[in-house]
Amino acid sequence: MRKFIGWKATGMGILFFVLLQTLSFSQTDKSPFADIDNNRVLPMLKSLPRTYGGMNIPAADGRFLHDLIIENKYQRGLEIGTSNGYSGLWLGLAFQETGGKLITLEIERKRAEEAQGNFIKAGLDQVIDARICDAFKEIPEIEGEFDFVFIDAWKPDYMEFLQLVRHRVKPGGLITAHNVLNAGREMQDFLDALKTDQGLETKIVRNSNAGLSISIIKK
Ligand SMILES: C[S@@+](CC[C@H](N)C(=O)[O-])C[C@H]1O[C@@H](n2cnc3c(N)ncnc32)[C@H](O)[C@@H]1O
């Protein structure tokens, strides 16, 4: 699956065409767990209890984001909305492979502590900095730039989060967001902003019913 996802060496249009190819390929591809050989993380990716009303991303979406990070060798990620850490396991596993780091933010203490426990159990706690905080307050306090952002908090907040991170992501980096299809009506302002922002090129990926937006910061 991975060889279809890399895009740094290609032009923007081609890379999005390639990405679209990836989408249809991913949907018919083998298991999202194929070739994941980390025996500590794999059982958790397969069967982490879906606590908190099934808010976790589907495995297919996790695999897609994981592969994007690895193919593009991203080094510094930010996740907004950790919950119990399921998506963080996918992202953290990818950053472990690239030698990068992930900061993930969760406002609810119980969920965040559960996630921290899961990251320790997975052996990813040195890669993932899991913070218990309000992302609106925390993001302005974090220094430096990111090359990968994943927004998966409450849907009407996406626009405000976009504004907070928009100029914190390097050219060639990505701003990604979850539930853009099944909760699109709750984030219309965000979807409109992705369309009209001349500095972004965005595609909507349907690996699952939820839908992911993938926006690359133009160079
Ligand atoms: C859909 S869940 C995240 C699921 C997780 N990404 C996964 O796939 O495993 C959304 C989470 O965002 C958290 N959240 C909402 N607003 C937040 C904020 N302002 N700061 C930090 N976390 C927030 C919620 O408490 C909730 O746990």
Between residues 45 and 29, the one the model is more confident about? 45
Helix (H, G, I), strand (E, B) or coil at 97: helix
pLDDT of residue 74: 98
For the chain, which residues make up each domain, given as ranges?
A: 2-217
Of the listed ranges 27-31, 34-38, 118-122, 188-192, the least confidently predicted one is: 27-31
Distance (Å) from CA 108 to ligand 1 centroid: 8
173: left (phi > 0), else alpha (psi -120 to 50), else beta? beta
H/E stretch holding 216: strand 212-217
Q: What is d(CA 86, CA 148) in angstroms, rounded to the nearest whole number?
A: 17
Distance (Å) from CA 132 to ligand 1 centroid: 11
The CB of 96 under 6 Å from ligand 1? The reply is no
Please count the residues of the chain.
219
Q: Is the pLDDT of residue 6 over 60?
A: no
pLDDT of residue 50: 80
Per-residue pLDDT reduced to its tens digit, 136-160: 999 999 999 999 999 999 999 999 9
Secondary structure letter of residue 72 according to DSSP:
T
Distance (Å) from CA 154 to ligand 1 centroid: 7
Radius of gyration of the chain (CA): 16
Place of tokens 């018919």: 28
Averaged pLDDT of the chain: 90
Ligand 1 atom closest to the CA of 52, numbered from 1? 27
Per-residue pLDDT reduced to its tens digit, 34-72: 999 999 999 999 999 887 777 999 999 999 999 999 999
The CB of 33 under 6 Å from ligand 1? The reply is no
8 A C-beta contact, residue 204 and residue 176? no
**Sign for the pseudo-dihedral over CA of 82, 86, 91, 93:** positive
pLDDT of residue 18: 61
DSSP letters, 3-43, are: GGT--TTS-HHHHHHHHHHHHHHHHHSS-TTTT---TTTHH
Kindly state the tokens that stand for 57: 């991303």
Q: Is the pLDDT of residue 1 over 80?
A: no
pLDDT of residue 107: 98
Q: State the amino acid at position 50 in one-letter form.
A: R
Distance (Å) from CA 17 to ligand 1 centroid: 31
**Model pTM?**
0.92
The CB of 106 under 6 Å from ligand 1? The reply is yes
Mean pLDDT of all residues in 171-176? 98
The CB of 61 under 6 Å from ligand 1? The reply is no
pLDDT of residue 19: 57
Of the listed ranges 8-12, 78-82, 169-173, the least confidently predicted one is: 8-12
Q: State the amino acid at position 82 in one-letter form.
A: T
CATH dotted code for 2-217: 3.40.50.150
Q: What is d(CA 118, CA 121) in angstroms, rounded to the nearest whole number?
A: 5
Ligand 1 atom closest to the CA of 153, numbered from 1? 12
Distance (Å) from CA 82 to ligand 1 centroid: 5
pLDDT of residue 49: 82
The CB of 118 under 6 Å from ligand 1? The reply is no
The CB of 138 under 6 Å from ligand 1? The reply is no
Hey, which of 51, 52, 82, 212 would you mutate to test ligand 1's pocket, going by the most ligand atoms within 8 Å of its Cβ? 82
Q: What is d(CA 41, CA 113) in angstroms, rounded to the nearest whole number?
A: 18
Helix (H, G, I), strand (E, B) or coil at 49: coil
